[in-house]
Structure 1
Amino acid sequence: MIAVILAAGYGTRLQRDVLEDRSGRFAHLVGVAKPLLPVGRCQLISHWVQALTRSGCVHKIYVVTNALYQTAFEEWAAHFSNVEILSDQTRNNDERLGAVACLQLAVKHFEIEDHVIVIGGDTLFKEDFSLSEVKERFYDLQKKCEENCLLLSYQCRDDETHKYGILEVDEDLRVLCMKEKPRPSETTSRRACPCFYVFSKSSLPLLETFLEEKKEAPIEEKDAPGNFVSWLIPRKPVHVHQISGRFDVGNLPSYTECDLYFREKLQHKDSYMM
Protein backbone atom coordinates (compact mmCIF):
# COMPACT_ATOMS: atom_id res chain seq x y z
CA MET A 1 0.00 0.00 0.00
CA ILE A 2 0.86 3.66 -0.44
CA ALA A 3 0.08 6.47 2.00
CA VAL A 4 -0.88 9.95 0.81
CA ILE A 5 -0.97 12.63 3.49
CA LEU A 6 -2.99 15.69 2.53
CA ALA A 7 -1.11 18.74 3.81
CA ALA A 8 -1.86 21.54 1.33
CA GLY A 9 -4.19 23.55 3.57
CA TYR A 10 -3.29 26.99 4.86
CA GLY A 11 -4.57 26.67 8.42
CA THR A 12 -6.31 30.02 8.30
CA ARG A 13 -8.40 29.53 11.46
CA LEU A 14 -5.44 28.36 13.52
CA GLN A 15 -3.14 31.13 12.29
CA ARG A 16 -5.82 33.71 13.07
CA ASP A 17 -6.12 32.34 16.61
CA VAL A 18 -2.34 32.35 17.08
CA LEU A 19 -2.02 35.94 15.91
CA GLU A 20 -4.89 37.06 18.15
CA ASP A 21 -3.51 35.30 21.25
CA ARG A 22 -2.07 37.81 23.72
CA SER A 23 -0.34 35.36 26.06
CA GLY A 24 2.75 34.93 23.90
CA ARG A 25 2.72 31.18 24.53
CA PHE A 26 2.07 30.35 20.89
CA ALA A 27 4.26 32.88 19.08
CA HIS A 28 6.46 30.03 17.82
CA LEU A 29 3.50 28.68 15.82
CA VAL A 30 3.16 31.73 13.57
CA GLY A 31 3.50 30.65 9.96
CA VAL A 32 3.79 26.93 10.79
CA ALA A 33 1.77 24.49 8.67
CA LYS A 34 -0.64 22.43 10.79
CA PRO A 35 1.00 19.06 10.01
CA LEU A 36 4.36 20.48 11.17
CA LEU A 37 3.03 21.72 14.52
CA PRO A 38 4.82 20.30 17.56
CA VAL A 39 2.55 17.71 19.18
CA GLY A 40 4.09 16.02 22.18
CA ARG A 41 7.65 15.01 21.42
CA CYS A 42 7.59 15.53 17.66
CA GLN A 43 5.71 17.20 14.82
CA LEU A 44 2.13 16.09 14.18
CA ILE A 45 2.89 14.49 10.82
CA SER A 46 5.91 12.65 12.26
CA HIS A 47 3.58 10.56 14.42
CA TRP A 48 2.04 9.25 11.19
CA VAL A 49 5.31 8.61 9.41
CA GLN A 50 6.78 6.76 12.37
CA ALA A 51 3.69 4.59 12.84
CA LEU A 52 3.24 3.87 9.12
CA THR A 53 6.90 2.90 8.84
CA ARG A 54 7.14 0.75 11.97
CA SER A 55 3.88 -1.05 11.28
CA GLY A 56 4.96 -2.00 7.77
CA CYS A 57 1.56 -0.94 6.41
CA VAL A 58 2.99 1.02 3.48
CA HIS A 59 6.17 1.05 1.43
CA LYS A 60 6.01 4.73 0.44
CA ILE A 61 4.59 7.93 1.91
CA TYR A 62 3.71 10.91 -0.28
CA VAL A 63 2.89 14.29 1.25
CA VAL A 64 1.00 16.88 -0.82
CA THR A 65 1.60 20.43 0.35
CA ASN A 66 1.59 23.89 -1.24
CA ALA A 67 4.30 26.21 -2.53
CA LEU A 68 4.14 28.38 0.60
CA TYR A 69 5.13 25.51 2.90
CA GLN A 70 7.07 23.35 0.42
CA THR A 71 10.54 24.22 1.73
CA ALA A 72 9.54 23.56 5.35
CA PHE A 73 8.14 20.15 4.41
CA GLU A 74 11.20 19.26 2.36
CA GLU A 75 13.45 20.11 5.31
CA TRP A 76 11.29 17.95 7.57
CA ALA A 77 11.18 15.06 5.06
CA ALA A 78 14.98 14.96 4.80
CA HIS A 79 14.91 12.95 8.05
CA PHE A 80 12.87 10.13 6.48
CA SER A 81 13.99 7.89 3.62
CA ASN A 82 10.49 6.81 2.58
CA VAL A 83 8.81 10.23 2.30
CA GLU A 84 8.45 12.37 -0.83
CA ILE A 85 6.98 15.87 -1.01
CA LEU A 86 4.76 17.18 -3.81
CA SER A 87 3.61 20.80 -4.09
CA ASP A 88 0.28 21.78 -5.60
CA GLN A 89 1.99 25.07 -6.64
CA THR A 90 -0.54 27.32 -4.87
CA ARG A 91 0.58 30.10 -2.53
CA ASN A 92 -2.60 31.18 -0.70
CA ASN A 93 -5.96 29.88 0.44
CA ASP A 94 -7.86 31.47 -2.44
CA GLU A 95 -5.77 29.51 -4.95
CA ARG A 96 -6.13 26.13 -3.24
CA LEU A 97 -6.97 23.16 -5.43
CA GLY A 98 -8.95 21.26 -2.82
CA ALA A 99 -8.13 17.98 -1.09
CA VAL A 100 -9.60 15.73 -3.79
CA ALA A 101 -7.62 17.45 -6.53
CA CYS A 102 -4.47 17.18 -4.40
CA LEU A 103 -5.04 13.45 -3.99
CA GLN A 104 -5.50 13.06 -7.74
CA LEU A 105 -2.36 15.14 -8.28
CA ALA A 106 -0.38 12.65 -6.20
CA VAL A 107 -1.93 9.63 -7.95
CA LYS A 108 -0.96 11.02 -11.38
CA HIS A 109 2.44 12.48 -10.46
CA PHE A 110 3.68 9.36 -8.69
CA GLU A 111 1.81 7.01 -11.05
CA ILE A 112 0.15 5.23 -8.13
CA GLU A 113 -1.45 1.91 -9.05
CA ASP A 114 -1.72 0.45 -5.56
CA HIS A 115 -4.18 0.61 -2.68
CA VAL A 116 -3.94 4.02 -1.01
CA ILE A 117 -4.30 5.12 2.61
CA VAL A 118 -5.41 8.76 2.57
CA ILE A 119 -4.72 10.72 5.75
CA GLY A 120 -5.66 14.26 6.71
CA GLY A 121 -2.48 16.05 7.75
CA ASP A 122 -4.22 17.78 10.67
CA THR A 123 -5.68 14.57 12.15
CA LEU A 124 -4.45 12.19 14.86
CA PHE A 125 -6.20 9.37 16.71
CA LYS A 126 -6.48 8.14 20.27
CA GLU A 127 -4.03 5.60 21.61
CA ASP A 128 -6.22 2.55 20.97
CA PHE A 129 -6.09 3.13 17.19
CA SER A 130 -4.10 0.45 15.33
CA LEU A 131 -2.83 0.63 11.76
CA SER A 132 -2.23 -3.12 11.86
CA GLU A 133 -5.91 -3.73 12.63
CA VAL A 134 -6.95 -1.43 9.81
CA LYS A 135 -4.64 -3.24 7.40
CA GLU A 136 -6.00 -6.63 8.48
CA ARG A 137 -9.59 -5.45 8.12
CA PHE A 138 -8.95 -4.01 4.68
CA TYR A 139 -7.30 -7.14 3.33
CA ASP A 140 -10.06 -9.32 4.78
CA LEU A 141 -12.48 -7.19 2.75
CA GLN A 142 -10.25 -7.48 -0.31
CA LYS A 143 -10.45 -11.27 -0.16
CA LYS A 144 -14.22 -10.98 -0.53
CA CYS A 145 -14.19 -8.30 -3.23
CA GLU A 146 -11.23 -6.44 -4.72
CA GLU A 147 -13.29 -3.28 -5.08
CA ASN A 148 -13.91 -2.92 -1.33
CA CYS A 149 -12.80 0.33 0.32
CA LEU A 150 -12.58 1.11 4.04
CA LEU A 151 -13.50 4.13 6.16
CA LEU A 152 -13.10 4.78 9.86
CA SER A 153 -15.94 5.88 12.09
CA TYR A 154 -16.37 6.91 15.69
CA GLN A 155 -19.39 7.78 17.80
CA CYS A 156 -20.09 11.48 18.11
CA ARG A 157 -22.57 13.18 20.43
CA ASP A 158 -26.06 14.16 19.33
CA ASP A 159 -25.12 17.83 19.30
CA GLU A 160 -22.10 17.19 17.07
CA THR A 161 -23.71 15.63 14.00
CA HIS A 162 -23.90 19.01 12.27
CA LYS A 163 -20.09 19.22 12.34
CA TYR A 164 -19.29 15.99 10.47
CA GLY A 165 -20.07 13.63 7.67
CA ILE A 166 -22.25 10.95 9.28
CA LEU A 167 -22.20 7.39 7.94
CA GLU A 168 -25.26 5.17 7.82
CA VAL A 169 -24.38 1.47 7.63
CA ASP A 170 -26.14 -1.90 7.37
CA GLU A 171 -25.73 -4.96 9.63
CA ASP A 172 -22.55 -5.97 7.77
CA LEU A 173 -21.00 -2.53 8.36
CA ARG A 174 -21.27 -1.65 4.70
CA VAL A 175 -21.86 2.06 4.22
CA LEU A 176 -25.24 2.92 2.76
CA CYS A 177 -24.69 6.67 2.58
CA MET A 178 -22.90 9.62 4.11
CA LYS A 179 -25.00 12.55 5.26
CA GLU A 180 -23.06 15.78 5.30
CA LYS A 181 -23.46 17.67 8.59
CA PRO A 182 -27.05 16.57 9.30
CA ARG A 183 -29.18 17.71 12.19
CA PRO A 184 -29.64 15.01 14.88
CA SER A 185 -33.24 14.53 13.75
CA GLU A 186 -32.16 13.77 10.16
CA THR A 187 -30.39 10.51 11.00
CA THR A 188 -30.29 7.93 13.76
CA SER A 189 -26.60 7.30 13.08
CA ARG A 190 -23.87 8.95 15.13
CA ARG A 191 -20.98 7.50 13.10
CA ALA A 192 -18.68 10.43 12.33
CA CYS A 193 -16.14 9.84 9.57
CA PRO A 194 -12.61 11.28 10.00
CA CYS A 195 -10.22 11.96 7.13
CA PHE A 196 -8.62 8.51 6.97
CA TYR A 197 -9.65 6.32 4.06
CA VAL A 198 -8.30 3.17 2.46
CA PHE A 199 -9.13 3.28 -1.23
CA SER A 200 -8.74 0.14 -3.31
CA LYS A 201 -6.60 0.57 -6.41
CA SER A 202 -9.69 -0.08 -8.54
CA SER A 203 -11.35 3.03 -7.09
CA LEU A 204 -8.54 5.47 -7.96
CA PRO A 205 -9.66 6.14 -11.56
CA LEU A 206 -12.90 7.49 -10.12
CA LEU A 207 -11.02 10.49 -8.72
CA GLU A 208 -10.66 11.84 -12.24
CA THR A 209 -14.31 11.08 -13.00
CA PHE A 210 -15.42 12.95 -9.86
CA LEU A 211 -13.27 15.97 -10.62
CA GLU A 212 -14.47 16.09 -14.21
CA GLU A 213 -18.08 16.09 -13.01
CA LYS A 214 -17.28 18.85 -10.51
CA LYS A 215 -15.03 21.01 -12.71
CA GLU A 216 -17.53 23.88 -12.73
CA ALA A 217 -18.52 23.44 -9.07
CA PRO A 218 -17.39 25.79 -6.26
CA ILE A 219 -14.09 24.90 -4.59
CA GLU A 220 -15.97 23.78 -1.46
CA GLU A 221 -17.37 20.78 -3.37
CA LYS A 222 -13.86 19.67 -4.32
CA ASP A 223 -12.06 20.67 -1.14
CA ALA A 224 -13.45 18.36 1.55
CA PRO A 225 -12.34 14.78 0.76
CA GLY A 226 -15.59 13.55 2.33
CA ASN A 227 -17.40 14.87 -0.74
CA PHE A 228 -15.58 12.33 -2.88
CA VAL A 229 -16.29 9.60 -0.32
CA SER A 230 -20.01 10.43 -0.37
CA TRP A 231 -19.95 10.30 -4.19
CA LEU A 232 -18.01 7.01 -4.13
CA ILE A 233 -20.36 5.11 -1.81
CA PRO A 234 -23.05 4.31 -4.42
CA ARG A 235 -20.36 3.32 -6.93
CA LYS A 236 -18.03 1.05 -4.94
CA PRO A 237 -18.53 -1.15 -1.87
CA VAL A 238 -17.37 0.79 1.19
CA HIS A 239 -17.19 -0.57 4.76
CA VAL A 240 -16.32 0.89 8.16
CA HIS A 241 -13.86 0.13 10.92
CA GLN A 242 -14.79 1.50 14.33
CA ILE A 243 -12.37 3.63 16.39
CA SER A 244 -12.82 5.52 19.66
CA GLY A 245 -12.12 9.06 18.54
CA ARG A 246 -9.77 11.55 16.95
CA PHE A 247 -8.00 14.87 17.26
CA ASP A 248 -8.78 17.34 14.48
CA VAL A 249 -6.48 20.34 14.75
CA GLY A 250 -8.53 23.19 13.33
CA ASN A 251 -8.05 26.04 15.79
CA LEU A 252 -5.95 26.92 18.82
CA PRO A 253 -8.13 25.19 21.46
CA SER A 254 -8.15 21.93 19.48
CA TYR A 255 -4.38 22.17 19.03
CA THR A 256 -3.71 22.70 22.73
CA GLU A 257 -6.00 19.77 23.60
CA CYS A 258 -4.13 17.52 21.18
CA ASP A 259 -0.68 18.65 22.36
CA LEU A 260 -1.65 18.12 26.01
CA TYR A 261 -2.81 14.55 25.29
CA PHE A 262 0.48 13.65 23.63
CA ARG A 263 2.61 15.34 26.28
CA GLU A 264 0.82 14.03 29.37
CA LYS A 265 -1.61 11.20 28.55
CA LEU A 266 -0.02 9.11 25.78
CA GLN A 267 1.33 6.04 27.58
CA HIS A 268 2.91 3.85 24.90
CA LYS A 269 4.78 6.32 22.71
CA ASP A 270 6.93 3.78 20.86
CA SER A 271 3.97 1.66 19.78
CA TYR A 272 1.48 4.49 19.17
CA MET A 273 -0.92 3.74 16.29
CA MET A 274 0.88 0.55 15.35
Structure 2
Amino acid sequence: MELIDGKEVAAALKRKMAEEVAVMERKPTLVAILVGHDGASETYVGHKEKACKEIGFNSAVLRFEDTITEDALLAEIGKLNDDPQVDGFIVQMPLPRHISEQKVIEAIDPRKDVDGFHPVNVGRMILGLPAYVSATPEGICELLRYYRIPTAGKHCVVVGRSNIVGRPMANLLSDKEFNCTATLCHSRTENLKEICASADILVAALGKAEFVTADMVKPGAVVIDVGITRVPSDKTRNGWKLLGDVKFDEVAPKCSYITPVPGGVGPMTIVSLMKNTLLAAKGTIYGK
Protein backbone atom coordinates (compact mmCIF):
# COMPACT_ATOMS: atom_id res chain seq x y z
CA MET A 1 0.00 0.00 0.00
CA GLU A 2 1.29 3.45 -0.95
CA LEU A 3 -0.04 6.60 0.64
CA ILE A 4 -0.97 9.34 -1.84
CA ASP A 5 0.52 12.47 -0.30
CA GLY A 6 -1.56 15.45 -1.39
CA LYS A 7 0.62 17.85 0.57
CA GLU A 8 3.73 16.76 -1.32
CA VAL A 9 2.05 16.97 -4.72
CA ALA A 10 0.48 20.36 -3.95
CA ALA A 11 3.85 21.74 -2.81
CA ALA A 12 5.51 20.55 -6.02
CA LEU A 13 2.82 22.14 -8.20
CA LYS A 14 2.95 25.41 -6.25
CA ARG A 15 6.73 25.57 -6.71
CA LYS A 16 6.30 25.08 -10.45
CA MET A 17 3.65 27.80 -10.66
CA ALA A 18 5.76 30.18 -8.56
CA GLU A 19 8.61 29.82 -11.05
CA GLU A 20 6.26 30.75 -13.88
CA VAL A 21 4.70 33.67 -12.01
CA ALA A 22 8.13 35.05 -11.07
CA VAL A 23 8.85 35.96 -14.70
CA MET A 24 5.39 37.30 -15.55
CA GLU A 25 5.13 41.05 -16.09
CA ARG A 26 1.70 41.15 -14.50
CA LYS A 27 0.93 38.94 -11.51
CA PRO A 28 -2.34 36.98 -11.49
CA THR A 29 -5.06 38.36 -9.22
CA LEU A 30 -7.57 36.19 -7.34
CA VAL A 31 -10.44 37.63 -5.29
CA ALA A 32 -12.64 35.75 -2.84
CA ILE A 33 -16.07 36.89 -1.67
CA LEU A 34 -16.89 35.73 1.85
CA VAL A 35 -20.39 36.22 3.25
CA GLY A 36 -20.93 35.80 6.99
CA HIS A 37 -18.64 34.19 9.55
CA ASP A 38 -18.78 30.45 8.91
CA GLY A 39 -15.71 28.96 10.58
CA ALA A 40 -14.94 26.40 7.88
CA SER A 41 -15.30 29.02 5.14
CA GLU A 42 -13.02 31.44 7.01
CA THR A 43 -10.38 28.72 7.32
CA TYR A 44 -10.66 27.70 3.68
CA VAL A 45 -10.37 31.26 2.40
CA GLY A 46 -7.37 31.73 4.68
CA HIS A 47 -5.68 28.73 3.05
CA LYS A 48 -6.33 30.28 -0.36
CA GLU A 49 -4.77 33.57 0.71
CA LYS A 50 -1.69 31.71 1.97
CA ALA A 51 -1.37 29.76 -1.30
CA CYS A 52 -1.61 32.99 -3.31
CA LYS A 53 1.22 34.48 -1.29
CA GLU A 54 3.40 31.38 -1.71
CA ILE A 55 2.96 31.38 -5.49
CA GLY A 56 3.19 35.14 -5.99
CA PHE A 57 -0.41 35.99 -6.86
CA ASN A 58 -2.16 39.17 -5.83
CA SER A 59 -5.17 38.34 -3.67
CA ALA A 60 -8.01 40.03 -1.84
CA VAL A 61 -10.98 38.97 0.27
CA LEU A 62 -14.23 40.93 0.12
CA ARG A 63 -16.12 40.31 3.36
CA PHE A 64 -19.83 40.92 3.80
CA GLU A 65 -22.24 40.32 6.67
CA ASP A 66 -24.76 37.53 6.23
CA THR A 67 -27.46 40.19 6.11
CA ILE A 68 -26.37 41.33 2.64
CA THR A 69 -29.21 41.11 0.15
CA GLU A 70 -29.09 38.91 -2.91
CA ASP A 71 -29.26 41.93 -5.21
CA ALA A 72 -26.40 43.63 -3.39
CA LEU A 73 -24.23 40.52 -3.65
CA LEU A 74 -25.02 40.17 -7.36
CA ALA A 75 -24.00 43.81 -7.81
CA GLU A 76 -20.62 43.10 -6.17
CA ILE A 77 -20.15 40.15 -8.53
CA GLY A 78 -20.91 42.45 -11.45
CA LYS A 79 -18.15 44.83 -10.33
CA LEU A 80 -15.61 41.99 -10.29
CA ASN A 81 -16.79 40.80 -13.70
CA ASP A 82 -16.05 44.28 -15.07
CA ASP A 83 -12.72 44.83 -13.28
CA PRO A 84 -9.87 44.23 -15.76
CA GLN A 85 -7.39 43.82 -12.89
CA VAL A 86 -9.22 40.76 -11.54
CA ASP A 87 -8.32 37.56 -13.39
CA GLY A 88 -10.54 35.24 -11.39
CA PHE A 89 -12.77 35.22 -8.36
CA ILE A 90 -14.77 32.85 -6.21
CA VAL A 91 -17.82 33.20 -4.02
CA GLN A 92 -17.24 31.01 -0.99
CA MET A 93 -20.06 28.58 -0.30
CA PRO A 94 -22.30 28.03 1.59
CA LEU A 95 -24.29 31.25 1.37
CA PRO A 96 -27.11 32.42 3.67
CA ARG A 97 -30.47 30.81 2.89
CA HIS A 98 -31.99 33.97 1.46
CA ILE A 99 -29.41 34.01 -1.35
CA SER A 100 -29.71 31.62 -4.29
CA GLU A 101 -26.39 29.88 -4.80
CA GLN A 102 -27.36 29.02 -8.38
CA LYS A 103 -28.14 32.66 -9.20
CA VAL A 104 -24.77 33.64 -7.78
CA ILE A 105 -22.91 30.98 -9.78
CA GLU A 106 -24.65 31.98 -13.01
CA ALA A 107 -23.88 35.67 -12.38
CA ILE A 108 -20.12 35.05 -12.48
CA ASP A 109 -18.45 35.70 -15.84
CA PRO A 110 -17.40 32.21 -17.08
CA ARG A 111 -14.03 33.71 -18.05
CA LYS A 112 -13.40 34.52 -14.37
CA ASP A 113 -15.11 31.45 -12.90
CA VAL A 114 -11.97 29.82 -11.52
CA ASP A 115 -14.06 27.56 -9.27
CA GLY A 116 -15.39 25.95 -12.46
CA PHE A 117 -19.03 25.93 -11.30
CA HIS A 118 -20.66 28.05 -14.03
CA PRO A 119 -22.85 26.03 -16.45
CA VAL A 120 -20.70 27.23 -19.35
CA ASN A 121 -17.55 25.75 -17.82
CA VAL A 122 -19.36 22.57 -16.76
CA GLY A 123 -20.77 22.17 -20.27
CA ARG A 124 -17.41 22.76 -21.91
CA MET A 125 -15.80 20.22 -19.59
CA ILE A 126 -18.43 17.61 -20.46
CA LEU A 127 -17.85 18.23 -24.18
CA GLY A 128 -14.10 17.90 -23.74
CA LEU A 129 -13.48 21.56 -24.56
CA PRO A 130 -10.99 23.77 -22.69
CA ALA A 131 -12.63 24.90 -19.45
CA TYR A 132 -12.00 25.77 -15.84
CA VAL A 133 -12.54 22.40 -14.16
CA SER A 134 -13.91 22.46 -10.62
CA ALA A 135 -11.06 22.32 -8.16
CA THR A 136 -11.60 19.04 -6.29
CA PRO A 137 -12.06 16.80 -9.36
CA GLU A 138 -9.10 18.47 -11.06
CA GLY A 139 -7.03 17.99 -7.91
CA ILE A 140 -7.80 14.26 -7.97
CA CYS A 141 -6.78 14.13 -11.63
CA GLU A 142 -3.47 15.75 -10.70
CA LEU A 143 -2.88 13.06 -8.06
CA LEU A 144 -3.49 10.31 -10.63
CA ARG A 145 -1.07 12.00 -13.02
CA TYR A 146 1.62 12.58 -10.40
CA TYR A 147 1.60 8.98 -9.17
CA ARG A 148 1.23 7.65 -12.74
CA ILE A 149 -1.63 5.42 -11.69
CA PRO A 150 -2.82 3.25 -14.60
CA THR A 151 -6.37 4.23 -15.57
CA ALA A 152 -7.01 3.14 -19.17
CA GLY A 153 -9.74 0.51 -19.28
CA LYS A 154 -10.05 0.43 -15.50
CA HIS A 155 -13.41 0.39 -13.77
CA CYS A 156 -13.83 3.54 -11.71
CA VAL A 157 -16.70 3.88 -9.25
CA VAL A 158 -17.58 7.35 -7.95
CA VAL A 159 -19.85 7.35 -4.89
CA GLY A 160 -21.67 10.66 -4.59
CA ARG A 161 -23.41 12.65 -7.32
CA SER A 162 -22.82 16.27 -6.32
CA ASN A 163 -22.30 18.83 -9.06
CA ILE A 164 -19.08 19.92 -7.35
CA VAL A 165 -17.34 16.54 -7.13
CA GLY A 166 -19.19 13.38 -8.14
CA ARG A 167 -20.67 14.24 -11.52
CA PRO A 168 -17.61 16.05 -12.96
CA MET A 169 -15.30 13.38 -11.53
CA ALA A 170 -17.09 10.56 -13.34
CA ASN A 171 -17.02 12.57 -16.56
CA LEU A 172 -13.32 13.42 -16.35
CA LEU A 173 -12.30 9.83 -15.62
CA SER A 174 -14.29 8.53 -18.58
CA ASP A 175 -12.77 11.11 -20.93
CA LYS A 176 -9.92 10.39 -23.34
CA GLU A 177 -7.10 11.38 -20.97
CA PHE A 178 -7.93 8.67 -18.43
CA ASN A 179 -10.12 6.27 -20.46
CA CYS A 180 -11.82 4.71 -17.44
CA THR A 181 -15.17 2.96 -17.50
CA ALA A 182 -16.93 5.14 -14.94
CA THR A 183 -19.92 4.22 -12.77
CA LEU A 184 -21.62 6.99 -10.80
CA CYS A 185 -23.36 5.78 -7.63
CA HIS A 186 -25.37 7.48 -4.90
CA SER A 187 -27.44 6.81 -1.81
CA ARG A 188 -30.25 5.12 -3.80
CA THR A 189 -27.98 2.81 -5.80
CA GLU A 190 -28.93 -0.84 -5.41
CA ASN A 191 -26.14 -3.33 -4.63
CA LEU A 192 -23.83 -0.44 -3.78
CA LYS A 193 -21.45 -2.62 -1.80
CA GLU A 194 -21.00 -5.04 -4.69
CA ILE A 195 -20.50 -2.24 -7.22
CA CYS A 196 -17.85 -0.59 -5.05
CA ALA A 197 -16.09 -3.93 -4.60
CA SER A 198 -15.78 -4.22 -8.39
CA ALA A 199 -13.90 -0.93 -8.70
CA ASP A 200 -10.25 -0.69 -9.72
CA ILE A 201 -10.44 2.97 -8.68
CA LEU A 202 -12.92 4.00 -5.99
CA VAL A 203 -13.69 7.68 -5.35
CA ALA A 204 -15.68 8.24 -2.15
CA ALA A 205 -17.42 11.61 -2.17
CA LEU A 206 -20.48 11.11 0.03
CA GLY A 207 -19.77 13.30 3.02
CA LYS A 208 -20.59 10.43 5.36
CA ALA A 209 -17.84 9.55 7.82
CA GLU A 210 -16.26 6.09 7.41
CA PHE A 211 -19.01 4.88 5.07
CA VAL A 212 -16.66 2.78 2.93
CA THR A 213 -15.53 -0.34 4.77
CA ALA A 214 -13.09 -3.10 3.86
CA ASP A 215 -15.76 -5.39 2.40
CA MET A 216 -16.58 -2.68 -0.16
CA VAL A 217 -13.04 -2.53 -1.56
CA LYS A 218 -11.40 -4.79 -4.12
CA PRO A 219 -7.89 -6.01 -3.20
CA GLY A 220 -5.32 -3.81 -4.91
CA ALA A 221 -7.80 -1.00 -5.63
CA VAL A 222 -6.90 2.69 -5.70
CA VAL A 223 -9.03 4.54 -3.14
CA ILE A 224 -9.53 8.32 -3.27
CA ASP A 225 -11.25 9.72 -0.17
CA VAL A 226 -12.88 13.09 -0.80
CA GLY A 227 -14.94 13.24 2.38
CA ILE A 228 -14.05 15.25 5.44
CA THR A 229 -16.25 15.25 8.54
CA ARG A 230 -15.45 16.74 11.93
CA VAL A 231 -16.43 14.41 14.78
CA PRO A 232 -16.02 14.66 18.56
CA SER A 233 -12.97 12.96 20.05
CA ASP A 234 -11.70 12.57 23.61
CA LYS A 235 -8.24 11.69 22.27
CA THR A 236 -7.36 15.10 20.85
CA ARG A 237 -6.54 18.34 22.58
CA ASN A 238 -9.18 20.35 20.73
CA GLY A 239 -11.92 17.76 21.30
CA TRP A 240 -12.52 16.75 17.67
CA LYS A 241 -10.90 14.95 14.75
CA LEU A 242 -11.36 14.75 11.00
CA LEU A 243 -12.64 11.60 9.33
CA GLY A 244 -12.96 10.76 5.67
CA ASP A 245 -15.66 8.77 3.91
CA VAL A 246 -13.38 5.72 4.07
CA LYS A 247 -12.68 3.67 7.20
CA PHE A 248 -8.98 4.13 6.69
CA ASP A 249 -7.45 1.67 9.16
CA GLU A 250 -9.31 -1.34 7.79
CA VAL A 251 -9.38 -0.31 4.11
CA ALA A 252 -5.77 0.82 3.66
CA PRO A 253 -4.17 -2.67 3.93
CA LYS A 254 -6.25 -3.82 0.93
CA CYS A 255 -5.26 -0.93 -1.36
CA SER A 256 -2.48 -0.34 -3.83
CA TYR A 257 -2.88 3.44 -3.27
CA ILE A 258 -5.03 5.44 -0.85
CA THR A 259 -5.41 9.09 0.14
CA PRO A 260 -5.39 10.02 3.84
CA VAL A 261 -7.74 12.48 5.54
CA PRO A 262 -6.52 15.08 6.11
CA GLY A 263 -3.56 15.59 3.76
CA GLY A 264 -4.86 13.82 0.67
CA VAL A 265 -7.38 15.50 -1.62
CA GLY A 266 -7.76 18.68 0.47
CA PRO A 267 -4.45 20.37 -0.44
CA MET A 268 -5.09 19.57 -4.10
CA THR A 269 -8.35 21.48 -4.13
CA ILE A 270 -6.51 24.68 -3.20
CA VAL A 271 -3.72 24.17 -5.71
CA SER A 272 -6.20 23.45 -8.52
CA LEU A 273 -7.91 26.77 -7.83
CA MET A 274 -4.49 28.41 -8.15
CA LYS A 275 -3.92 26.57 -11.42
CA ASN A 276 -7.21 27.88 -12.82
CA THR A 277 -6.30 31.42 -11.75
CA LEU A 278 -2.98 31.18 -13.57
CA LEU A 279 -4.78 29.94 -16.69
CA ALA A 280 -7.17 32.89 -16.41
CA ALA A 281 -4.30 35.38 -16.11
CA LYS A 282 -2.60 33.89 -19.18
CA GLY A 283 -5.83 33.81 -21.19
CA THR A 284 -5.33 30.11 -21.87
CA ILE A 285 -8.99 29.05 -21.84
CA TYR A 286 -10.95 31.99 -23.25
CA GLY A 287 -8.24 34.42 -24.34
CA LYS A 288 -7.81 37.95 -23.01
Tell me the TM-score normalised to structure 2 length.
Answer: 0.31
Q: Max radius of gyration: which structure?
A: 2
- Where is the strand percentage greater, Structure 1 or Structure 2? 1
Tell me the TM-score normalised to structure 1 length.
Answer: 0.32
Work out which structure has the larger RCO, using CA pairs closer than 8 Å and 6 or more positions apart in sequence: 1
